[in-house]
Amino acid sequence: MAFEKIVLDKVAQVLGQQRQAYFVNGTLFVCAAEPAARQVFHMLYKDYNKRVQVSVAMHGEYAYDFTA
């Protein structure tokens, strides 16, 4: 749970607002326009040693998976 809280706080800083991201079964979902979603991806990719991938993008919601 601590990992999720840290990630959600980082995403909120990038997006400039809370409640636009959440976790389900270890996958991070972010509701954002494409430019903001790209910023989130680049931040996560850098901060988590290139172990993040975008797995789904539908209707303004992007899913990010963390790999081992």
Residue 50 phi, psi (nearest 5): 65, 25
For 12-41, write each residue's pLDDT tens digit: 999 999 899 999 999 999 999 999 999 999
Architecture, CATH, for domain 2-66:
Alpha-Beta Complex (3.90)
CA angle 56, 16, 36 (to 5 degrees): 35
Mean pLDDT, rounded, for 58-66: 94
User: pTM to 2 decimals?
Assistant: 0.92
Domain boundaries, the chain: 2-66
